[in-house]
Amino acid sequence: MHDERDPSSRQLPARLRAVGPGWHRLLADLHEQLHAQHPGYQVDDLKEKFGALRIKVIGVPDTARPQVQALVADAEVQSAVTCEFCGAPARRRRRNDTCATAATPHGHGTRS
């Protein structure tokens, strides 16, 4: 459980367990960029959807929103070609009704 009064409890480092370890470096880099410019930023939502990251950031001034959205969008695009399990280059793979971004060793039994 995290302390809602502590802004860092709602930032990316505190939310890494929500997604695969292969994406943790992408999120650490995004955190560094966001925190340098907006130390009070908060993550409202962090999840995997259709084999890529989905990130919703709040707590930034309206004037900074386009810049923050661009940083978030870049991380989301990078996640779509980064293995969510190991961080290696990867591609989206489908299995039954699910989608994951996985490197070849993790994608056995799936089809693209």
Q: Which residues of the chain have pLDDT under 70?
A: 1-5, 107-112
Q: What is the pLDDT of residue 93?
A: 82
Q: What is the pLDDT of residue 111?
A: 45
Q: What is the pLDDT of residue 97?
A: 72
Q: State how beta strands 98-102 and 42-49 pair.
A: unpaired
Q: What is the pLDDT of residue 109?
A: 45
Q: What is the pLDDT of residue 107?
A: 62
Q: What is the pLDDT of residue 17?
A: 96
pTM: 0.87
Distance (Å, whole) CA 2 – CA 64? 27
Type of residue at 87:
G
Handedness of CA 33, 1, 24, 112 (dihedral sign): negative
